[in-house]
């Protein structure tokens, strides 16, 4: 990534400067990926758009959160502190998968700091009450990483994230590398936040212009999830289903996603 690496409030970010008068894009990755998973998308976006991709707490060189079982709002608070340190008062939030859950929480809790919201392959969360066990399939993610180790864990799971993995070996390899690099503590915290999350409740409080996009072959967060997110939003919302793409939307179709985002922000420049 050609962006400059910075540390802000213990969180690692990669920042590409753009035009001062334009609102920055803040990119929030999914549970099995990291900031560099956005590199194809950043390269496809117009260079005039400033981009900031974080490694969420517990990923890359970012410190984990203090709570073992955080909620999306804890990540939103961490993001607010990061934006404060970087001098960003308002941004376009672009979340992918679990990052969409964090983006929705931020938009609900810090509405004055969000100019627009983009949800890519949105994860809705499981609405697990505090101190209750995770659903078995969700807990299994944590257990498998601890049992198998990063490389074997990624080899087992990565192909399901790509629409046609045999036809997109470079995408599959990138997805597998990112998944193999997760840290057990940070990953476990993020999975528990996924369990606690309730995106639809957060989106009911969001009225900024929003974009929702999903791959037609997404097995992880299928189009029905994205349609539910679209329907929960109160403001002007556009929806796109991208044919042939799986869950790793920013990596599989970076040029398509970049065009959608650039057009979306252009259409809502004065929102």
What percentage of residues in the chain have a pLDDT greater than 90?
91
Q: Which two tokens stand for residue 85?
A: 């340190």
Say what the pTM is: 0.96
Which of 181, 136, 162 is CA-nearest to residue 33? 181
**What digits encode the pLDDT tens for the residues 67-103?**
999 999 999 999 999 999 999 999 999 999 999 999 9
**Would you kindly state where each structural domain of the chain is located, as residue ranges?**
4-267
Using the CB atoms, write b or e for 152-171: b if 16+ within 10 Å. Answer: ebbeebbeebbbebeebeeb
Which of 51, 96, 125 is CA-nearest to residue 246? 96
Contact between residue 68 and residue 193 where contact means Cβ atoms under 8 Å apart:
no
Q: Which fold is adopted by the domain 4-267?
A: Rossmann fold (3.40.50)
Note the pLDDT of residue 269.
Answer: 52
Q: Give 223-236 as a DSSP string.
A: HHHHHHHHHH--S-
Q: How confident is the model at residue 3 (pLDDT cuts 50, 70, 90)?
A: confident
**How far apart (Å, rounded) are the C-alpha atoms in residues 57 and 220?**
22
Q: Which two tokens stand for residue 66?
A: 């203090």
Pairing of strands 91-96, 114-120: parallel
């Amino acid at each position: 990534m050609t962006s400059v690496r910075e540390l802000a409030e213990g969180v690692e970010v990669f920042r590409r400067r753009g035009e001062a008068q334009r609102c920055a894009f803040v990119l929030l990755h999914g549970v099995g990926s990291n900031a560099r998973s956005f590199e194809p998308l950043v390269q496809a976006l117009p260079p005039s758009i400033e981009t900031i991709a974080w490694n969420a707490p517990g990923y890359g060189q970012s410190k984990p959160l203090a709570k073992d079982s955080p909620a999306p709002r804890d990540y939103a608070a961490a993001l607010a502190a990061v934006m404060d340190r970087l001098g960003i008062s308002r941004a376009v939030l672009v979340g992918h998968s679990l990052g969409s859950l964090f983006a929705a929480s931020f938009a609900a809790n810090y509405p004055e700091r969000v100019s627009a919201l983009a949800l890519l392959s949105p994860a809705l969360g499981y609405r697990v009450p505090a101190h209750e066990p995770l659903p078995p399939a969700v807990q299994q993610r944590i257990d498998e990483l601890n049992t198998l180790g990063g490389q074997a864990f990624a080899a087992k799971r990565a192909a399901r994230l790509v629409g046609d993995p045999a036809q997109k070996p470079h995408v599959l390899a990138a997805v597998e590398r990112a998944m193999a690099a997760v840290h057990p503590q940070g990953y476990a915290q993020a999975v528990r936040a996924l369990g606690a999350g309730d995106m639809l409740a957060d989106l009911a409080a969001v009225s900024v212009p929003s974009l929702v996009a999903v791959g037609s072959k997404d097995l992880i967060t299928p189009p029905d999830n994205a349609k539910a997110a679209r329907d929960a939003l109160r403001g002007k919302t556009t929806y796109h289903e991208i044919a042939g793409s799986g869950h790793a939307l920013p990596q599989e179709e970076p040029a398509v996603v970049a065009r959608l985002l650039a057009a979306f922000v252009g259409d809502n420049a004065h929102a």
